[in-house]
A and B are shown apart, each in its own frame.
Chain A
């Protein structure tokens, strides 16, 4: 573990290792100094909160061992399953549209030969990423309010004449998916574009000579080579989407509680902590969400190959 060069894999860092040959004592002491602050932050805001959440989730309010009581309590809560359903429905719509549209747009933008056009398009797609958090939700509240909306005509054409008609609960998963897509897709398009640039021109050239058209090249060459990036995007977005909070929270506030304030799982955890003063129940929900995020990310670290550590 210390100074042994264990790596034979051709990884990102496939060069001769320093230190392995000459383990200078002063240097390794220095290394501890260099990582000390970051390591302290990792412990304070990565490891400790996780352990504390585990502790709370398995204890009672008085500090006694609770076994699985907190978990059975929150899972048995009448709001829990609907919240799972809401988040799941939203995730399906969002992930499918994200994967399909981002890949399609990246490939189409990539076929453009005018550099100014291709880079302006990427900028336009990317720009909404600056409006994350509450700002993007607020902006979409305007867009979804037929009286003020820039696309009010379109909304009325769809038979939606008032804000309350737009945000009926059945419409929410697609609405959240649209907001998330609007803010997040551009960054992924840029990443996919970068990945497409990394495909060797020779491969594409060879396919062209063999008579492949743009669509065939996209389907048989670009898509398979993008697969790793697509799965990366999918898993990251799945993990992030389970944490849905700000969108339903603001919509709930703007709709006079037509949208309930326990719509998503994170909101429910928030309700437990701050309305019911039940930190153990909140910790149990947080822990469930954290485990999902951890399992997904660990899967990617282990299996992905995208992040070669050594």
Chain B
């Protein structure tokens, strides 16, 4: 935005708005840049080091490609390649949930925004309330419910609950109620479009950005979800990588001196596992940053 372009040289009279004020602001910002940035930079570097190098070398000295390769081998050799299974599971759960989320929430948001039907208001209020409930609050009740229908341990026990994504419906609802010209839809109807065609041919193409946004949030949330799969999946074959990390942690002597098993994990290997566990999300984050910022502030600020 251009809000800040206004510049009046003659009007700075505030107590701290001279250069001392700016210096304070710069120091504050620098501290927080370090606070937010250092752990990530360090983590990337740590995954290239040897176990000894991690302790002895300068924390910000890069390791070597050999070190990275050694850590890679050690990580993917853990438990006969369990890590590969975990990453594949994460992908299956996150993508599965993402597809169902889109099929469920985009039409629902559209219908709630542009048509009237019984229970519409009820559904809308439920959406808002459930959207504000923290993810973890319903995990144990959902476990108890799925336990009675015998779904525990199956991939569906995480995919289905993750597919329920009221925030996506809310974003779609806001988008369709504020940004789609109704006359356009009316014109399509006059031209003889059936309702389903109005949605698929007119509304859906226009809503492409919001579909991508819902997909992004759903993917990130499912990929990073810990408590739900932790509770639903008893066997380590079914773990997503986020839960798999706990198995690795349990085999790291540095944090668990009692874990003197055959399969011990060194700290740099654990660091590499952490990098791999967030890599897909990190990449998507970097590529869709601008777009995200617009989406996160959509809705509420449009009053």
Contact = CB atoms under 8 A, between A and B. Distances in A.
Interface stretch (B76-84, B131-139, B205-213): B131-139
A15 B182 contact: yes
Contact of A293 (B137, B231, B274): B137
B255 A246 contact: no
B132 A283 contact: no
B150 to A, nearest CB: 15
Nearest to A26: B195
A147 B4 contact: no
Contacts of B103: 37
Most chain A CB neighbours (cut-off 10 Å) among B13, B104, B131:
B104
Contacts of A216: 14
A298 to B, nearest CB: 6
Contacts of B293: 122, 126, 190, 194
Interface in B129-155: 129-138, 140-145, 148
Given A121-B29, A208-B8, A290-B137, A45 B117 contact: no
Given A123-B289, A150-B59, A215 B242 contact: no
Interface string B116-134: 1111110111111111111
B192 interface: no
Interface in B148-174: 148, 160-161, 163-164, 166, 169-170, 174
A280 to B, nearest CB: 10
A214 interface: yes
Interface of B is mostly: helix
Interface string A82-114: 000000000000000000010011001111110
A68 interface: no
Nearest to A30: B195
Q: Chain B contact residues (Cβ within 8 angstroms of A): what range?
A: 35 or more
Given A15-B182, A35-B108, A256-B256, A133 B242 contact: yes
Contact of B133 (A37, A190, A297, A310): A297
A240 to B, nearest CB: 4
A221 interface: no
Contacts of B110: 34
B105 A38 contact: yes
Contacts of B4: 110-113
A216 to B, nearest CB: 6
A273 B152 CA distance: 14
Contact of A124 (B37, B124, B195, B227): B37
A186 to B, nearest CB: 7
Nearest to B108: A38
B234 to A, nearest CB: 9
B262 interface: no
B65 interface: no
A294 B54 CA distance: 46
Contacts of A111: 4, 25
A209 B37 CA distance: 38
Nearest to B277: A135
Contacts of A236: 132
B134 A139 contact: no
Contacts of B128: 297, 301, 307, 309
Contacts of A135: 224, 242, 245, 274, 277-278
Interface string B277-296: 11001100110010011001
B144 A283 contact: yes
Given A17-B116, A190-B293, A50 B141 contact: yes
27 contacts: A1-B121, A23-B116, A28-B115, A31-B120, A39-B108, A42-B166, A52-B144, A108-B25, A110-B4, A121-B29, A127-B37, A133-B242, A134-B246, A138-B270, A139-B43, A148-B46, A190-B293, A190-B297, A193-B297, A212-B14, A213-B16, A216-B14, A255-B255, A286-B141, A293-B132, A297-B133, A308-B303
Which 3 pairs show the lowest CB-CB distances between chains A and B? A213-B14, A194-B297, A297-B132
Interface of A: 1-3, 12-13, 15-20, 23, 26-28, 30-35, 37-39, 41-42, 44-50, 52-53, 56, 101, 104-105, 108-113, 121-135, 138-143, 145, 147-152, 163, 182, 185-187, 190-191, 193-199, 201, 204-205, 208-209, 211-217, 229, 232, 235-236, 239-240, 242-243, 245-246, 249-250, 253-256, 266, 269-270, 273, 279, 282-283, 286, 289-290, 293-294, 296-298, 300-301, 306-310
